[in-house]
Amino acid sequence: MSAPVPAEPVPQRYRGVWQRTLLQTPTLRDTATTVFWLQTAHWHADIRIPAARPDFTSVAALADCSAAQRAWLATQQGFAGSTAVSIAAEAEVCTWHRLLDFQPPAAGPDAGFMQFSPTHLIETGVHGVYLEHWQKLPGSDTGFMVLQCLQEDTGAPAAPRLLLVAGDYVMHVRSRAQAWPAGTLPGTSAAQAADLQAWPALLDFEIAFGKRTADGWEIRHATLPWREATRIDLRMMSPDLKTPGSGPAWRLLQAGQAVDLCWSGAASRWQVLEWQPPAPWPPL
């Protein structure tokens, strides 16, 4: 994944984790969908889990899902990428450039007019008619980092995988390995783009949102429901530092450098995309 990073960071007031409390369109009023948006200075990740989720108690993998369970999984949404904010006298517009997307590519840009109040954020559509209300989670607006997983053999970007941290919260986004079928039109839904036989591979897109713990983090919401309530042991190992300095090595990291993570016992190498880590640090 090669992601263009906006030259200007988003304003400080955007940074943190936002929970959606309302979506209203000409035909819908939704207060039940679980939606979290994590925003750093340049990057974002988003997870959207509809209400009335089927029972996944006996499921441990996509292969275990029934047709009805797969059909419900296909209704989920979520994405990650870079963020740009344009401020003019008449309007403030936030644009989310989606690099990873649970659903097939959208038919148009994702952008909203943004208005901040003392208690919440109001978003209205630039390219569509909708209203969304957002509230920021306490403990999410101090300390940020974004990492991208690298291939073990070459050090080049692997199948897209991002780890984002905002204060006490963590979002992990791992893209699917299989591409959408040829000819999938922009704006097509996952349910329309895939038949039941193809769904297990096309639904293998993990977005996991949770909270940091003393040992790593705990998944609270996930597009793969059996991953919820899982504790991830996440430890930083030897950072690849190229400049000398005093103090803990992790404080010297900069965008473009690399770190090794031990993810529940498995070592992996990650590139730093953004680095202003929260305290205490480590752990993640």
For the stretch 203-216, pLDDT in tens is: 999 999 999 988 88
Architecture of the structural domain at 12-136? Beta Barrel (2.40)
Q: What is the mean pLDDT of each run of 10 residues along the chain (284 residues)?
A: 72 97 96 98 98 95 92 95 91 94 90 93 95 97 93 66 96 90 84 69 94 91 97 80 55 84 90 86 60
Judge if pTM exceeds 0.75: yes
For 80-130, what is each residue's pLDDT tens digit?
999 999 998 888 999 999 999 999 988 889 999 999 988 899 999 999 999
Using alpha carbons, list the distances in angstroms from residue 185 to 103, 182, 188, 193.
12, 9, 6, 8
Hey, how many other C-beta atoms are within 10 angstroms of the C-beta on 225? Answer: 20
| Cβ–Cβ < 8 Å for 61, 82 | no
Helices of type H across the chain:
67-73, 190-193, 199-202
Residue boundaries of the structural domains of the chain: 12-136, 144-276
| Number of residues that this document lists for the chain | 284
Task: Please confirm whether the linkage preceding 278 is cis (ω < 30° from 0).
Answer: no
CA-to-CA distance for 270 and 238, rounded, in angstroms? Answer: 11
